[in-house]
Amino acid sequence: MRSTPSVVVSLVFVAFSLSLLAQDWNQWRGPSRTGATAAFKAPAAWPDRPKQVWQVQAGEGHASPIVSGNRVYAFSRIDDREAVTAYELATGKQLWRQTYDAPFQMNPAATSHGKGPKSTPVIDGGRLYTFGISGILSVWDAVAGKLLWRKDFKGEYRATWPDFGTAMSPAVANNLLILQAGGKDNGALLALDVQSGNVKWSWKRDGPAYSSPIVATFGGVRQVVTQSQTHVIALALDDGRLLWDIPFTTEYDQNIVTPLVIEDLLIFSGLSKPTSAVRPRENNGKWVAEQVWQNADVPMYMSSPVVKDGLLFGLTHRNRGQFFCLDGRTGKTLWTTRGREGENAALVVAGDVLMATTTEGELVVSRPNAKAFDQVKRYTIADSPIWAHPVPVGNGVLIKDAATLTYWMF
């Protein structure tokens, strides 16, 4: 593969330029943090091989790229420094790059995953927020690349990252930056003022996990919902008070899956744990999360699910990776693939199709079908494992593999 930006034929460039009007993919799992966008337009006929528009050496790490306007942002590691880079979306031209020292000692059990970063940035109001693998939080002017403020949380907690490094991706809501800081058995879920970094509220009853928070509304109340080290929790967005929680633990405290909402249900799962649905509601002034269904056949480990037309699609770690489909209202298994799809897959809903990148270096395109796995195309698109989410852009997709960032057009 080539390692320098290159623009293909002019017709491709023109088509790409027209696609810049598509919806931004500005954070972890896209504009709604559900892994879905309606802006992608599938081709009338899928090619045998997509066209490479450009490719750059972006640095190592698992953070997914994000898109805002005519720019794409990458968060990566170059040597022993974490790097934040802005590229021109149409051409891959580097617009700015900032780096800072970020030494990190890997847990011996996770050396194959590298030194990160693993957290996907979020962009909001012209500010770009990055959260490094060792817990360094940085806020940048997204246009100029200037550092606006930074926190490293040293001295506030016994450790500034959980056992396998910071992986949760921050969220922005109500002018608050939501994140989990600290390390094992000693941390906090924080809401920081986006402009100053001042703490607006904090919840300190558990250590951080690797799951990323969402903001959901149940019973008319906006709630920050996530997995902490040993629980599934929901805090009121406005003041951080605990509304409800569910004890939830996995082996080696690896709570990773990002929760997902289907109508009035919250879906969550974990390593060797059933995929579960609860209905959060207020009952006589007290919040409860009543269990609606569980499905022990398709536990999820590192891959977070998506929903399309009431169907829940995901990857279970069973049988070395199986794609699956459940009825989102009942939890009934509708189908699974045979297995060996990979150690992990990152799924998105792109218009009328599903896309998944895998640790086998593949991009798998399928139709959301309740009856069977309906594969459209399976492309070998990288010569390294892919942990980052595919990012649909117009009628193409951005792919971040171990070290390169590539725009492909269908």
Nearest alpha-carbon partner for 212 in 301, 119, 127, 133:
119
321: number of CA atoms within 13 Å, CB side? 16
What pLDDT shows up at residue 139?
98
What pLDDT shows up at residue 20?
42
Distance CA 26, CA 389 (A): 12
What pLDDT shows up at residue 109?
86
pLDDT in tens, 354-383: 999 999 999 999 999 999 999 999 999 999
Nearest alpha-carbon partner for 344 in 32, 15, 94, 113:
113
Distance CA 332, CA 67 (A): 35
**Domain 10-409 class, CATH top level:** mainly beta
Cβ of 14: how many Cβ atoms within 10 Å? 11
Q: What does each of the 410 residues of the chain score in pLDDT, given as a tens digit?
A: 444 444 433 333 333 333 444 579 999 999 999 999 999 989 999 999 999 999 999 999 999 999 999 999 999 999 999 999 999 999 999 999 999 999 998 888 888 888 999 999 999 999 999 999 999 999 999 999 999 999 999 999 999 999 999 999 999 999 999 999 999 999 999 999 999 999 999 999 999 999 999 999 999 999 999 999 999 999 999 999 999 999 999 999 999 999 999 999 999 999 999 999 999 999 999 999 999 999 999 999 999 999 999 999 999 999 999 999 999 999 999 999 999 999 999 999 999 999 999 999 999 999 999 999 999 999 999 999 999 999 999 899 999 999 999 999 99
What pLDDT shows up at residue 23?
74
pLDDT in tens, 44-75: 999 999 999 999 999 999 999 999 999 999 99
Determine the Cα angle at 334 with ends 331 and 337, to 5°.
120
Please list the residues that pair with 217 across neighbouring strands. 222
**Contact status, residue 30 vs residue 37, Cβ threshold 8 Å:** yes
pTM score above 0.85: yes
Boundaries of every domain in the chain: 10-409
